Structure 1
Amino acid sequence: MTLFWLTGAALAVLALVLVLRPLLAQRAGGPVSRTAANISIYRDQLRELEGDLAAGTLAQADYERARAELEARLLEDVREQPAPAARPAGWLPVIATVALVPVVALVVYFAVGNPAALVRQPEAHISPQQVEAMVQRLADKMRANPNDIEGWKLLGRSYAALGRFDQAVDAFAKAAAGAPRDPDLLADFADVLAMARDQKLDGEPEKLVRRALELDPNHLKSLALAGTAAYERKDYAAAAAYWQRMLPNVQPGSEDARVIQQNVNEARALAGIGGEAAKPQAPKAAQASKAAVRGTVTLSPQLKSKASPDDTVYVFARAAEGPPLPLAIARTRVRDLPYSFQLDDSMAMNPAMNLSAFPKVVVTARVSKSGNAAPQAGDLQGASGPVANDAGAVNIVIDSQVR
């Protein structure tokens, strides 16, 4: 498992280049070429080791040790690459994207099998079914290695990216049991627990956030979540205080600082403090986003006999060209069909992967027999063609069965 996570970490850094490319307006160039050269050298040296092992001139234990050293050097080489010049993308999208890197690393690791294949096929399409299979393989690994905390964290983030929040909660609970003093883990745990509870942070999720802040009073995600929890219960003064504490930890004058300050001002105005005389202005992020897809989901008469009234129906949007992860998701029951839906940025599982980030999306409606968002044989589904991320009157007919 050590070699798996070492290689996975290296791949995560490589995958980050691909994931961040749509967010950072820059040309791919030097860093990727240098990575390719490092991997090429690594493969040559690994082949030499394998040849020596096959020839009997190298003992198995020496081979394993030398291979581990090679992979460690590769990881360090990748980590030490200078970052290419780019416009600042802001901490919200970058932190959110980094949170997805383990999922992307998982996809790359299982999909291509080795770093060289990643360089050869940087644009390889990975289907949702393949992602599901990869996550299942990781889940199988975890059953055989239940004490692997990093594995549970990766599995939890993978489940969350797929919208399987109940399973994400179980995975994060196992990770937190082994690492109860990890603020990053506690914040992620709180996040998925809130998602599993209809996006409500009150109760246990907020307790996890407070524990994270006890361990690290300046933890950005925990401060953001704590402020959101306070805002939801209309404790605007507390929300402003939490968000104010974020400001010293972001670059002064940056877009992040401006957005956070505007949210602080909004909360202070609602609380009646700080001398705000004007009508509170909506946070900048909310103002800028007009992405919202609206429409209706119906079930084909030919398939009604295959669905039960209590079956879960998921309605979600994915990028027409981009990663297969959902950008926004809603949930209802078969009994409520026809169902009028609206998908917008507030329903995103990740701030960096939302409708506003992709001009064209495909909306899918799926009747899940198991209750999971992941497709399984026997589920019923229908999908739109590519539509604008602010399209209205998108009509989806659930008219096919997953095989």
Structure 2
Amino acid sequence: MFWLVAIAVSLVVTLAVCWPLLRTDGLMRSAGLSLVALGILLSLLLYREVGTPSGIGVDGRPVAGSANANHSPDQVEMDQLLQQLVQRLEANPDDLDGWLILGRSYKTMQRYEESLEALANAFRLAPENPLVIVEYAEARMFASGNPQIGSEELLLLQRAVDADPQSQKGLWLLGIAAAQAGQNNEAISYWSRLLEQMESDSAAAVAIKEQIGLLQGQASVTPTPASWDGFDIIVDAPEQQFEAAPGSVLFVIARRPGGGGPPLGVRRIENPRFPVQLQLTDSDSMMPQVPISSVQTVELLARLSMTGQPVPSEGDIESAVKQRAITDSKAVTLGLLID
């Protein structure tokens, strides 16, 4: 969460400085966009060199019920700057760049409903612009809370990539959609086109190559047990009479040891009542061609999301991570760590 806030603060502050350039055309607008990117990069590089989250009391695990969780000085300043941008857009609702900037800022801050509203305005102004189409489709995905890419979002992404075959985010998301549908060759094709545009040794390229390797190597993946019954899981809250807030969602997650890459599987339970008992099986896998049981060992954890969103955010309550072999038939208890 810290890095998301850091990026968002850097973005909004830099935009406030560069706004006059962004409102112009041609070379000056390009210079303004370059300064925005450079400002964010320099801010994060400076932080990496001179500071750490532990230096300001952030331990990496959200604290539930903190009265000051959403009122830090940085958060207040960021909200004020965003509000200034909102006021500019109220006065000039046909400002395409403004809506794009606002929507991306909200998306970075995990304020997905507001991001969707802003990017819907951008889509209204430029429904044939491939960049706008991809951002709008992604905002719809995040706002839905569904890890699966829906049919309407898929059509939007295909339209964007047809208009701009070099759209990197469009190619990436189309590859994910194809992989989720079990269309491995199509996913590999999209991601291979994406790789052609990237430095071969960049971190992003390495990650994409790993995903392609997973799809290409399905035949060599650990065979799925013929009669794997899944994991019997109990998610409990240590406090008696604990009740989840209305609208909260419990996510029970299976992932590879170390937490690298996307989850292997997720179960989503709305408005849970504790203790929650469930069976996590291959039907909960994120991608059918990479089922939970395709690996020998998994990590299991539970997260109670107060916003209902799958992406972790401040105020969520998590359990400790437990590691289990696929062949281990013992029930697993995941206790939420409530401060």
After TM superposition, the score normalised by the length of structure 2 is 0.53
222, 228, 236: which one aligns with 2:184? 236
Does 2:119 align with 1:172?
A: yes
Does 2:169 align with 1:224?
A: no
Question: CA deviation digits over 1:340-374, x for unaligned, max 9?
Answer: 9xxxxx99xxxxxxxxxxxxxxx9967569xxx99
Question: CA deviation digits over 1:196-217, x for unaligned, max 9?
Answer: 2312213111112112211211
Does 2:86 align with 1:149?
A: no
159, 163, 183: which one aligns with 1:215? 163
Q: CA deviation at 1:388?
A: 9.4
Letter in 2 for 1:17: L
Q: Which has the higher contact order (CA 8 A, sep 6+)?
A: 2
Q: CA deviation at 1:229?
A: 0.3
129, 138, 142: which one aligns with 2:85? 138
Secondary structure (helix, strand or coil) at the match of 1:312 reads coil
15, 19, 22: which one aligns with 2:44? 19
Matches within 5 A, 1:201-350: 201-270=149-218, 278-279=220-221, 311-313=246-248, 333-337=270-274
Q: CA deviation at 1:241?
A: 0.9
Q: Distance in 2 between matches of 1:12 and 1:300?
A: 49
Does 2:19 align with 1:5?
A: yes
Share of identical aligned residues, percent?
A: 23
Flag the 1:232–1:383 CA change in 2: closer, same or farther, 3 A: closer
Contact 2:303 2:317 in 1 (8 A): yes
Secondary structure (helix, strand or coil) at the match of 2:165 reads coil
Q: CA deviation at 1:238?
A: 0.5
Question: CA deviation digits over 1:254-311, x for unaligned, max 9?
Answer: 44444333322332344xxxxxx63389xxxxxxxxxxxxx8657785x96xx87xx2
Letter in 2 for 1:248: E
Letter in 2 for 1:14: G
Flag the 1:18–1:222 CA change in 2: closer, same or farther, 3 A: same
Q: Distance in 2 between matches of 1:181 and 1:172?
A: 13
Contact 1:297 1:339 in 2 (8 A): no
Contact 2:116 2:136 in 1 (8 A): yes
Q: CA deviation at 1:152?
A: 1.0
Q: Distance in 2 between matches of 1:299 and 1:334?
A: 17
What's the counterpart of residue 64 of structure 2?
A: none
Q: Distance in 1 between matches of 2:214 and 2:44?
A: 32
Look at both structures and tell me which one has the larger radius of gyration over its CA atoms.
1
Runs of 5+ unmatched residues, structure 2: 1-14, 23-31, 51-71, 224-234, 252-262, 278-284, 287-301, 324-332
> By percentage of residues, which structure has more helix?
1
Question: CA deviation digits over 1:69-123, x for unaligned, max 9?
Answer: xxxxxxxxxxxxxxxxxxxxxxxxxxxxxxxxxxxxxxxxxxxxxxxxxxxxxxx
Q: CA deviation at 1:183?
A: 2.5
Q: CA deviation at 1:160?
A: 1.7
Question: CA deviation digits over 1:133-158, x for unaligned, max 9?
Answer: 54344334322321111111122122
Flag the 1:179–1:236 CA change in 2: closer, same or farther, 3 A: same
Runs of 5+ unmatched residues, structure 1: 29-124, 271-276, 282-294, 317-327, 341-345, 348-362, 376-380, 399-403
Q: Distance in 2 between matches of 1:139 and 1:368?
A: 23
Flag the 1:128–1:209 CA change in 2: closer, same or farther, 3 A: same
Aligned residues: 237
Contact 2:100 2:119 in 1 (8 A): yes
Q: Distance in 2 between matches of 1:394 and 1:179?
A: 48
Secondary structure (helix, strand or coil) at the match of 1:246 reads helix
Q: Distance in 2 between matches of 1:314 and 1:224?
A: 27
